[in-house]
Amino acid sequence: MEIRPALHAHLEWPTQHSPLRAATVAVIEALAGAAIELSRIIAAGPLAGMVGESGGVNPDGDRQKTIDIVADRLMRDALRAAPVAAVVSEEVELPETLDPDASLCVAIDPLDGSANLENNISIGTIFSIRPKGNDIISTFFEPGTAQCAAGCFIYGPQTVLVLALDQRVDCFTLDPRTGEFVLTARDLRVPQDTPEFAINASNRRHWSGQVRNYIDECLAGVNGERGQDFNMRWIGSLVAEAYRILMRGGVFLYPADARQGYREGRLRLLYEAHPIALIMEWAGGAASSGRSRILELSARTPHQRVPLIMGSARAVRDVDAIHLTVEPLFESSDAPLFARRGLFR
Ligand code: F6P
Ligand code: MN
């Protein structure tokens, strides 16, 4: 029978024993503890009494559910007990300083896709871990290449942890019998040849020429420029789309569009695009804004948005290539501005 190491044993195992890695492991384990609790609450749904709107909005304008606030509290409490100098959470306007002497900074989306909870569709927690720089808060405004680990918990038919650590991506499944995460897939690799795309097609009329061209080519199928038939998927939970792509390949796009407030896309750089990009790259995939590699971009503000195209490396390259050849319908502000340092530098 195959031996499946528990998360703790697996994280202890590798050969490097630097203090930074030990701190990173402590943060991952703290988040895993909170995720186990959150997954129980989510699985109980209405029985846990935590469905419905809280009446508030988060700093980026999304309406907060009660469960968003519960998830944020659970995750930030866990981080308070870990070696974390500061945290940026989707649910809180400004970075929060925890232990200024600790060695790591964490950005977190406590409950991604939470609007899907009442539809019983997978939702998740996304996190990004980076070593603290000389100044605590400006650590968050370094490019995504500064991350030393990232991951996401997915609360779906199974609760899983996708973890990018030590330049590799592994997957752990929560064993409901023991209440522990156990290793279920090592060294995930994004399949490269899946003709499957994910995009919120209801926004087509707002897209730039580049995105329209790419999707129109996909829709043209075997007779079009791409020479093959494509399938489409759209879940509306970034974590679930990322997991599907890790398993089956394909490409996900949340581009900038012409709607008010969407000129830099929908997803947030620090706690959505950066960590998902690290996962994709370490699993052999890619992530781009259409003009720049996501990991080379720096946020200017904590809740900075960014266009995100991620998945199989070849498909992401195809979308990038179209961006180079087609005139934009409108000027989105992605690459040039982001390539600079953040607001706080
Ligand atoms: O966190 C933002 C998010 O909920 C993602 O999980 C998802 O990919 C996206 O927004 C869905 O956006 P839309 O509202 O356009 O369907
Ligand atoms: Mn989110």
Cβ of residue 238 lying under 6 Å from some atom of ligand 1: yes
pLDDT of residue 323: 85
* Other Cβ atoms within 10 Å of 100 Cβ, number: 9
Q: What class is the 7-185 domain?
A: alpha beta
User: Which residues neighbour ligand 2 (ion) by CB within 5 Å?
Assistant: 109, 112
H helices, E strands: number in the chain: 8, 17
The model scores a pTM over 0.85: yes
pLDDT of residue 78: 98
The whole-angstrom separation of Cα 76 and Cα 86 is 10
Q: Is 16 helix (H, G, I), strand (E, B) or coil?
A: coil
Closest ligand 1 atom to residue 116 Cα is 4
Q: At the topology level of CATH, where does 196-323 sit?
A: D-Maltodextrin-Binding Protein; domain 2 (3.40.190)
Q: Is 296 annotated as a binding residue?
A: no
Query: What residue type is 170 in one-letter code?
Result: D
Q: Is 272 annotated as a binding residue?
A: yes
Residues in the chain: 345
Q: What is the 31 CA–ligand 1 centroid distance (Å)? A: 23
Which residue's alpha carbon is nearest to atom 4 within ligand 1?
Answer: 113
Which residue's alpha carbon is nearest to atom 16 within ligand 1?
Answer: 236
| Radius of gyration of the chain from its Cα atoms, rounded to whole angstroms | 19
Q: What is the 268 CA–ligand 2 centroid distance (Å)? A: 8
- Delimit the CATH 3.40.190.80 region(s) of the chain: 196-323
The whole-angstrom separation of Cα 179 and Cα 228 is 44
Q: Is 264 annotated as a binding residue?
A: no
Which residue's alpha carbon is nearest to atom 11 within ligand 1?
Answer: 236
- Delimit the CATH 3.30.540.10 region(s) of the chain: 7-185
The whole-angstrom separation of Cα 146 and Cα 148 is 6
Which residue's alpha carbon is nearest to atom 9 within ligand 1?
Answer: 236
Cβ of residue 253 lying under 6 Å from some atom of ligand 1: no
**Per-residue model confidence as pLDDT tens for the chain (345 residues):** 678 999 999 998 765 679 999 999 999 999 999 999 999 999 999 898 877 787 888 888 888 889 999 999 999 999 999 999 999 999 999 999 999 999 999 999 999 999 999 899 999 999 999 999 999 999 999 999 999 999 999 999 999 999 999 999 999 999 999 999 999 999 999 999 889 999 999 999 999 989 999 999 999 999 999 999 999 999 999 999 999 999 999 999 999 999 999 999 999 999 999 999 999 999 999 999 999 999 999 999 999 999 999 999 999 999 999 888 766 555 554 443 333 333 322
Cβ of residue 237 lying under 6 Å from some atom of ligand 1: yes
Ligand (nearest to CA of 238): 1
